[in-house]
Chain A
Amino acid sequence: MVAREAGVPVPAAGAVSIAIDGVSKAFGSVQALADVDVRVRAGEFLSLIGPSGCGKTTLLKIVAGLVPADRGRVTVGDRTVTGPGPECSVVFQDFALLPWSTVQKNVEFGLLLRGVSPGERAERAQRTIAKVGLAGFERAYPAQLSGGMQQRVGLARALAVSPRVLLMDEPFASIDEQTRRVFQDDLLSLWSEERKTVVLVTHSMEEAIYLSDRVVVLSPRPGRVHQVLEVPLPRPREGGDVRATAEFARLVDGLWKILRKLQ
C-alpha cells in the first residue's frame, strides 16, 4: 500500500519486463521505426503515443511477435521475440471478434488454441466474462453487442489465457466517450488486482496520462523515442476525481506541448 501511494507499481508475481533494443522497421521505402529503445518494467502500465504514422502500432505488433523487426531485438521476460509467445495477449482496435461465435466461444478462443481442455475452457471463460462485467451475455453474438461490450469481449479473451503481458492497440479508439471512461476505470481496477505488464497504444493524451505509469512519446517518420514522461499521479486513480486535479491538467498540457511540436 505504501508503495502504491508513492506511485510505484507493485508487480504481480510472474510479471515480466520487456526490453526493446534498437528496433528498426521499414515498409518498402517508408522507414516506420528507426532504432527504438524502450524498457517496460515488470508490472508497469506504459503507453505509446505519437502523431499518426509514428509507428506505434507497428512497435506493438513487433513486441507481440506479429510483425518481424528488420533490425534490433525484443525480449519479453527471458524470451527473445521471434513470433507470438504464450506470455502476451493482444487487444485489437477493431476488437477482432469471430462474428460466427458467441461471446463464450470468442473468449474461449485463445484457450482453445493453447490446448486447454473443454471443461476448463468453459469455466475460465465464464469467470473472465464475469470479471469484465458481461455475465449473462455468454450466448450473445458480437453483432448483438455495443462497441464497448464487444471490446470487453476482446479484453476477456485476452485475459482468459492469463497472460503476463497485455498489449493493447488503441482499444478504446472506436468507443464513445462515456463508455470509454467507465471502461478505463474497469481496466484500471482489473489491472490493480493483478499487476500485469501493460503496453497501450493510444492517440488520446488524457487516456495516456490517466492510465499510465509512464508515457513514451514517439516522433513520426521514422518513429523514434522522442521523450519518456513519468506520470506521478497517485493510484488508485479509478473512480476518483483524478481528472479534475490541477496535476492531471498540468500533465496533459505538458504532453500536448511535446506532441504539438511533433505534428
Chain B
Amino acid sequence: MSERADADFGRAGVAAILGLAVAWELLGWLDVSMFVPPLSGVAVTWWKLLGDGTLAKAASSSLVSLVKGFVPAAGLGVLLGLAMGRFRTVRQVFDPWVNALMSAPLSALVPVLIALFGVRDTVVAATVFMFSFFVVVVNTTAGVRATDRSLVEMARAFGAGEATLFGRIYLPHALPAVLLGLRLGVVQAVKGMVVGEMLISLVGLGERLIYYGNTFLITELYAVILSVLVVALLAAQAVQACDRALVRWK
C-alpha cells in the first residue's frame, strides 16, 4: 500500500482505504484479538451510537471546544504571523517562543493548563488553542517573508505607504501560506481537543474514548475513533474549501 489517501482522494487512495477495510474485516472474523473487532460490527455500533444521541452529545461538546479554541488561535495566529513577517523586532521577540512551543510536546503543558483554567470546558478550548496557534503563526510569517521584493518596490513607486503595502501586497501574497497554516492548524486543533478531553476535562468525544477504553467496549471505542477522524477530515476540508474560494489565481 504505497499510495495513501490524503486530501485528494485518487483512485489509488480509494483502493487503499477499501483494502484496509477488507483486511480489517477479515482479521475481525479470524478473531485474532478482542481489540480487532470486525469493521462491520464497528459500523453497526457507530450507527447505534449515532441513533441514541451518544455521539451527537459528545461531538457537540467537543465541537464547541474546537470552535472556542481554534477561532481565536486562527485570528490571533494570523495577526501575530503578519506582524512577525513584517517587522523584524516583533520576529526577534517572538521567534524563540513560537519555535519552542511549536516543537514542545504540548501534553507536557497539561498540568500548567489545569492550573490556569481548572478542569472546566474552557481548558479544552485552551488545549485546542495551544495545539493549533503556533503552526498558524509560523506559516503566516513564512508567507509574508516570502513576498516578492519587486512587488513591494512597485507598490512603493506608486506611492504606497505601510498600510497599503500590508493590505495590497503582503497580505494577498501571504494568503496561500496562511490558508495552509489554517489547514494544518485545524488538524492540530482536533488533536488538542481530544488530548484536552482525555487528559484533563473528561468531556465530549475524549471522555467517550476513555470510558469505552476503560470498560473494554472495543467496538464503541473504534466507533468514536472513527468519529474523531471524520471531524478532523471535515474540518480540514472546510478550510480547503476556503482556500479554493480565496486563492483562485494559483
A90 with B172, Cβ < 8 A, contacts A96-B150, A100-B249 known: no
Which positions 42-66 of chain A face chain B at CB distance < 8 Å? Answer: 61, 64-66
Contacts of B173 in A (CB 8 A): 100
Inter-subunit contact A66/B157 (CB<8 Å):
yes
Inter-subunit contact B249/A143 (CB<8 Å):
yes
A99 at interface, CB cutoff 8 A = yes
Q: Which residues of B contact A (CB under 8 A)?
A: 148, 150-151, 153-160, 164, 168-169, 172-173, 175, 247, 249-250
A220 at interface, CB cutoff 8 A = no
Most chain B beta carbons < 10 A, residue from A64, A100, A109, A143: A100
Inter-subunit contact B159/A94 (CB<8 Å):
no
A193, B10: Cα distance in complex, Å: 57
Inter-subunit contact A66/B151 (CB<8 Å):
no
Having A64-B157, A100-B173, one finds 10 other A-B pairs with CB under 8 Å, namely A90-B153, A90-B154, A90-B157, A99-B249, A100-B172, A100-B249, A110-B158, A113-B158, A113-B164, A113-B168
Question: Across the two chains, which residue of chain A brings its CB closest to B176?
Answer: A100
A100, B155: Cα distance in complex, Å: 14
A89 at interface, CB cutoff 8 A = yes
Contacts of A96 in B (CB 8 A): 148, 150-151, 153-154
A98 at interface, CB cutoff 8 A = yes
A114, B172: Cα distance in complex, Å: 20
Interface Cβ pair total, 8 Å cutoff: 52
A99, B168: Cα distance in complex, Å: 12
Which 4 A-B residue pairings sit nearest by Cβ, starting from the closest? Answer: A96-B154, A113-B158, A96-B150, A100-B249
Contact among B150, B247, B250 for A92, CB-based, below 8 A: B150
A98 with B150, Cβ < 8 A, contacts A109-B158, A113-B155, A114-B158 known: no
Contacts of A89 in B (CB 8 A): 157
Inter-subunit contact B151/A114 (CB<8 Å):
no
Quote the shortest CB–CB distance from B166 to chain A (angstroms).
Answer: 13
Most chain A beta carbons < 10 A, residue from B148, B155, B159, B168: B159
Quote the shortest CB–CB distance from B235 to chain A (angstroms).
Answer: 26
Quote the shortest CB–CB distance from A156 to chain B (angstroms).
Answer: 13
Inter-subunit contact A66/B156 (CB<8 Å):
yes
A141 with B156, Cβ < 8 A, contacts A92-B150, A98-B172 known: no
Inter-subunit contact A88/B249 (CB<8 Å):
no
A131, B169: Cα distance in complex, Å: 27
Question: Across the two chains, which residue of chain A brings its CB closest to B164?
Answer: A113
Quote the shortest CB–CB distance from B88 to chain A (angstroms).
Answer: 18
A113, B156: Cα distance in complex, Å: 10
Quote the shortest CB–CB distance from B233 to chain A (angstroms).
Answer: 28
Question: Across the two chains, which residue of chain A brings its CB closest to B154?
Answer: A96
A161 at interface, CB cutoff 8 A = yes
A88 with B151, Cβ < 8 A, contacts A113-B164, A141-B249 known: no
Inter-subunit contact A84/B158 (CB<8 Å):
yes
Contact among A93, A94, A100, A161 for B158, CB-based, below 8 A: A161
Inter-subunit contact A84/B159 (CB<8 Å):
yes
